[in-house]
Every structure is written in structure tokens, then in C-alpha cells.
């Protein structure tokens, strides 16, 4: 399932209800490209990475209207968007990425976000990978993910930490939300996934001091890329895991 398809599902859930003031609570290029195409009153996009905020401002400068804004901020800051309420809020793979910027805050995040939501929260996530058993494609995805995380950790950086839909639903219900729908979408990975994940590995090598380790990791990255792309050429996709979309509303 592509990101565009997940956003199309959110549009179906929203139906004819107005988008109004829109908050992209953990923005990225894919989500903001979608948001700027909606009929919103205005939008606010938040990222914890100041460099990303500047890149996004530049990239989407021709789509910014009066009242639209890209902000750099962390949800662990109690003053972020203080007193502001948005009709619709999107949390697009945000809980999984929070470990990089506000570790362990996932357990407080939904309660922190609730006062800013007027009518609807749409939450998109990746179900954590489980054992691939006898599935060759699944084992390949796990190999890529494990190598990516190993490179990130050797570089002294933090990995994403994905949470299952069941955990998210429990957190929503204990944080003052009513869950309206949860739907899962099987994933078919392509060359974009293979190259993006292994490119992350390559970028992390510059932060690793042990050059013998760097040499071994670089060789492993190249061999795994060759193996994964060859698998894709035969199967035209790698089927493994699923994303989920959860729709919830704050309970008054």
C-alpha cells in the first residue's frame, strides 16, 4: 500500500466534512504535499527537526497561503501551540519517529495532543515487523531493517520505534478518545524502499570511527542492495507487513 493510498482512505473517512484548520503534527514531504492539496481553511505543519523545517519551507513556499506555516517544535514542550485548536489533526508515522527526538514521550503524546483536536484525529502507523518465518521476501525486509538499525546505532544515533495498532488504540482510549475505525493495509515494498533504507545505512558510515567496521558494513550494504534489487526484478515487489490508519475523535 502506497502512502498516497493511505491518504485516499483518510479522504474517504472524512467524506464531505470540512477540513477546516488542519494540523500535520509530524510533517514530512509526503504528508505536507497531501495536506497542501486539501481544501483547508489553513494548515500548520510541525517537525522537531529545525533543518527539516527550513527545507520544507523552501520546498513548499509556492503553496503557503496567509495563515499557513511550518514550525519547528517538540511535543514534549508544553508551550508548543498553547491554546490552539484544529479541526482535523494528522499524525503520520509520528509515534514511530518520536524516539529520535523525544524518547519515551510516546506514552504521554496522545494525551498531550488531545486539547488541540476539535473533531478528528487520523493516525497512520507501521505495525512493527515480526518474524518472517519461511517467507523469503519477509526475511529480506528484516535483513534490510536490521542492517539499517545496526548502522544507526553504531553511528550513535537513535532508531525509530514502531508501536502496534493495538497499543495505539489502548493509548487513545485511555487518553480521552473514541476510536471510530482501524484499518490495516498490506505493504508491497519496491525499489524506492530498498534504496532509501540502504542509503540511510551509507549516510551513517561517516559517523562511525572504526574503519574496519565501516569497511565491513559498506560491503554488506552493497551486497544486500544487489540481492534485494535482484529479488524485486523477479517478484516485482516484496510483500511483508502492513500499515494501519486509525480514525478517532476526542470525547467531550
Which CATH number covers residue 35?
3.40.50.150
Q: Tell me: do 18 and 94 sit in the same domain.
A: yes
How high is the mean pLDDT of the chain?
95
> Does one domain contain both 89 and 120?
yes
CA distance 101 to 105: 9
pLDDT at 176: 96
Same domain, 152 and 224: yes
pLDDT at 126 over 90: yes
* pLDDT-above-90 percentage for the chain: 92
Residues 227 and 166 in one domain: no
Domain shared by 102 and 209, yes or no: no
Same domain, 53 and 15: yes
What is the bridge-based pairing of β-strands 177-189 and 238-250? antiparallel
pLDDT tops 80 at residue 3: no
Q: Per-residue confidence at 233, pLDDT binned at 50, 70, 90?
A: very high
pLDDT given for residue 252 in this prediction: 79
What's the pLDDT score for residue 1? 47
pTM here is: 0.93
* Rounded mean pLDDT, 102-110: 93
Q: What is the mean pLDDT of residues 66-71?
A: 96
**Neighbour-count burial for 208-219, b at 16+ CB within 10 Å, e otherwise:** eeeeeebeebee
Query: Considering its fold, how many domains does the chain have in total?
Result: 2
* Rounded Cα–Cα distance for residues 58 and 143 (Å): 35
Residues 85 and 154 in one domain: no
Largest CA distance in the chain: 59
Would you say the C-alpha torsion 36, 39, 41, 47 has a positive or negative sign? negative
pLDDT at 133 exceeding the cut of 70: no
pLDDT digits (tens, 9 = 90+) for 26-50: 999 999 999 999 999 999 999 999 9
| 246 in the same domain as 172 | yes
Does the structure show a pLDDT above 90 at 134?
no
Q: What is the pLDDT of residue 100?
A: 87
Choose between 127 and 4: higher pLDDT. 127
Residues 136 and 209 in one domain: yes
**HEC string of the chain?**
CCHHHHHHHHHHHHCCCCCCEEEECCCCHHHHHHHCCCCCCEEEEEECCHHHHHHHHHHCHHHCCCCCEEEECCCCCCCCCCCCCEEEEEEECHHHHHHHCCCCCHHHHHHHHHHHEEEEEEEEEECCCCCCCCCHHHHHHHHHHHHHHHHHHHCCCCCCCCCCHHHHHHHHHHCCEEEEEEEEEEEEECHHHHHHHHHHHHHHHHHCCCHHHHHHHHHHHHHHHHHHHHHHHHHCCEEEEEEEEEEEEECC
Residues 121 and 95 in one domain: yes
What mean pLDDT is predicted for residues 167-194? 96
Spatial strand order in the sheet of 117-126: 69-72, 42-47, 21-24, 86-92, 117-126, 238-250, 177-189
Query: Quick one: which of 135, 162, 150, 126 has its CA closest to 237?
Result: 135
Residue-range definition of the domain harbouring residue 2: 1-127+162-187+242-252
Q: Name the CA dihedral angle for 248, 113, 53, 164, rounded to a multiple of 10 degrees.
A: -50
Q: Torsion over CA of 68, 71, 74 and 80, rounded to 10 degrees?
A: -60
- pLDDT at position 130 is 80
Same domain, 172 and 83: yes
Same domain flag for 55 and 173: yes
Amino acid at each position: 500500500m502506497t502512502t498516497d493510498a493511505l491518504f485516499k482512505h483518510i479522504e474517504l473517512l472524512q467524506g464531505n466534512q470540512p477540513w477546516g484548520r488542519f494540523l500535520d503534527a509530524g510533517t514530512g514531504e509526503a504528508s505536507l504535499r497531501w495536506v497542501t492539496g486539501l481544501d483547508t481553511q489553513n494548515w500548520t505543519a510541525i517537525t522537531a527537526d529545525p533543518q527539516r523545517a527550513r527545507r520544507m519551507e523552501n520546498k513548499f513556499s509556492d503553496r503557503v497561503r496567509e495563515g499557513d506555516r511550518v514550525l519547528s517544535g517538540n511535543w514534549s514542550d508544553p508551550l508548543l501551540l498553547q491554546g490552539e485548536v484544529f479541526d482535523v489533526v494528522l499524525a503520520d508515522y509520528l509515534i514511530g519517529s518520536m524516539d529520535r527526538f523525544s524518547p519515551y514521550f510516546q506514552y504521554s503524546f496522545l494525551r498531550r495532543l488531545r486539547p488541540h483536536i476539535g473533531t478528528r484525529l487520523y493516525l497512520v502507523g507501521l505495525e512493527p515487523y515480526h518474524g518472517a518465518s519461511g517467507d523469503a521476501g519477509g526475511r529480506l525486509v528484516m535483513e534490510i531493517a536490521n542492517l539499517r538499525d545496526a548502522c544507526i546505532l553504531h553511528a550513535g544515533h537513535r532508531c525509530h520505534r514502531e508501536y502496534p495498532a493495538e497499543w495505539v488504540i489502548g493509548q487513545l482510549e485511555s487518553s480521552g478518545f473514541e476510536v471510530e475505525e482501524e484499518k490495516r493495509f498490506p505493504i508491497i515494498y519496491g525499489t524506492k524502499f530498498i534504496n532509501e533504507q540502504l542509503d540511510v545505512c551509507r549516510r551513517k558510515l561517516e559517523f562511525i570511527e572504526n574503519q574496519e567496521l565501516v569497511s565491513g558494513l559498506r560491503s554488506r550494504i552493497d551486497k544486500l542492495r544487489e540481492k534485494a534489487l535482484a529479488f524485486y526484478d523477479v517478484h516485482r515487489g516484496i510483500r511483508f507487513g502492513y500499515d494501519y490508519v486509525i480514525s478517532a475523535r476526542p470525547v467531550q
